[in-house]
Amino acid sequence: MTHDDAALLAALADADEDRIVFDLAGIEARYESLLRELPGVAVRFAMKACPLDEVLACLARKGSGVDAASPHEIAQAIAAGVPPGRIHYGNPVKSDTDIAEAHRLGVTLFATDSPEDVAAIARHAPGARVFCRLATDGFGALWGLSDKFGCSVEDAVLVLRAARQAGLTPAGLSVHVGSQQMTTEAWQRAFDQLTDVLEALAEDGVALDHVNLGGGLPALGYLDGHGTPLDPPLDKIFAVVREGMERCARVAGHRLHFVVEPGRHLVADHGAIRAHVSRLTTRRGADGRLRRWLYLSCGKFNGLYEMDDVRFPLVFPTHPDGPLVPATVAGPTCDSADTHTPGRAPVPVPAALASGDPVWVLSSGAYAISYMSQGFNGFAPLPHVCVGGGNGNGDTSGDGDRRGGAGGGS
């Protein structure tokens, strides 16, 4: 197994206790690469993917804003240095008190997808700007994010018309093609929807100023259940997105700029967990089959919640050579759901593993912090450390498990 993030690997090697490490310089580099691929696009980091002050501050210094899903996230982003003008309330699900609190904190741009939500925004954030989220099918993504959010093309016109009548500014449209989207076709379908609504709104005299393309840009380091790199077609995705933006910009009646909400794309591959072996066992199950199990100190409830859907690369630094044996990898708790790899497929692991040996879980920087429990079965959330970053002050570090609010994935 190789990995090109030398600072991250060095920090893992230096750690003698379990923790999650983030390389801020790597996050900055991924941010800069995104801007090169989509020049002129405004980035609003989906902070639910990694709600750490150090990461928020790092991206804010680069010019990023934040896609927030709750007043708690908004307040945290502001405290970390993100200007309120670069924060939007991207969650269509919000109570009256949450709308009022976001408005009090200085947020003026709200996502919506229903007439009821529009009416609530008009009451509790008068004069606000709104963008309407369109429903997508999520096909081709590991997490589709369909059904709960978004409205139809036809209803989007009605929602934005209602916003105008309620004294709000109908400002934009948004889509989300699903988290870890692996196809270009999903983006093409989304742009078809966007252009249909833009044309209908122009005929209705509603002029928008932006299109929010949401999240969905993939991380690059995940494996499938068989240990093969997922290898998302990122270059082709960017090409389709650029062409789709040009299509939207050609629709008469609007003067559009574009927004993206990357989450895992920025942070997943630049965070990694230093865990350790609890035990490598051999036992016969109820079906009579003899199986090996590798139990790690980190699992579903303290950093690897998404392990049902993706396989994270594992590195065993004290056993670079020697025979390998197939084992089902699991976390430390007594919950049977606390098992790594989709379908519980066996993973080749060193046969000589012993309790206490370090294990590095790569590409685990997305959602590791935000999905941690408060200590299920007494296994505490992982502390974190941040290394690198272009703040001019050398390495930054911190310990804690601060988490943000709920919302869709990215």
How far is the C-alpha of 141 from the C-alpha of 145, rounded, in Å? 9
Rounded to two decimals, what is the model's pTM?
A: 0.92
pLDDT at 400: 40
**58, 248, 334, 386: the active-site residue:** 334
* Domain at 269-387: CATH code: 2.40.37.10
Q: Are 208 and 170 in contact (CB under 8 A)?
A: yes
Determine the straight-line distance between the first and last CA of the chain, rounded to whole angstroms: 26
Told to judge if 334 belongs to the known catalytic residues of this protein, a careful annotator would answer yes
DSSP tally for the chain: helices H, then strands E: 10, 18
| pLDDT for the residue numbered 147 | 77
Q: Are 179 and 141 in contact (CB under 8 A)?
A: yes
∠ CA 120-122-126, rounded to 5°: 135
Question: 19-23 and 384-387 as β-strands: parallel, antiparallel, unpaired?
Answer: parallel
Question: Which residues make beta-bridge pairs with 349?
Answer: 325
Phi, psi values for residue 290, rounded to 5°: -85, 125
CA–CA dist 135, 118 (Å, integer): 17
Please, which residues bridge with residue 366 across strands? none
pLDDT at 258: 98
User: What whole-number distance in Å separates Cα of residue 189 and Cα of residue 336?
Assistant: 39
pLDDT of residue 263: 97
The ranges assigned to domains in the chain are 23-268, 269-387
**pLDDT, averaged in runs of 10, over the chain (410 residues):** 75 96 96 97 97 97 97 98 98 97 98 98 98 92 82 95 97 95 95 96 95 96 88 96 98 97 97 98 92 95 88 94 94 90 82 98 95 84 88 42 39
For residue 50, the Cα-to-chain-centroid distance in whole angstroms is 7
Q: Which residues pair with 132 in a beta bridge?
A: 112, 173
Crossing angle (nearest 10°) for helices 24-37 and 6-14: 160
In CATH, the architecture of 23-268 is Alpha-Beta Barrel (3.20)
Q: Transcribe 345-372 into DSSP letters.
A: --EEEETT--TT-EEEE-S--SSTTTT-
Burial environment of residue 255 by CB neighbours within 10 A (0 to 12, 13 to 18, 19 or more): exposed
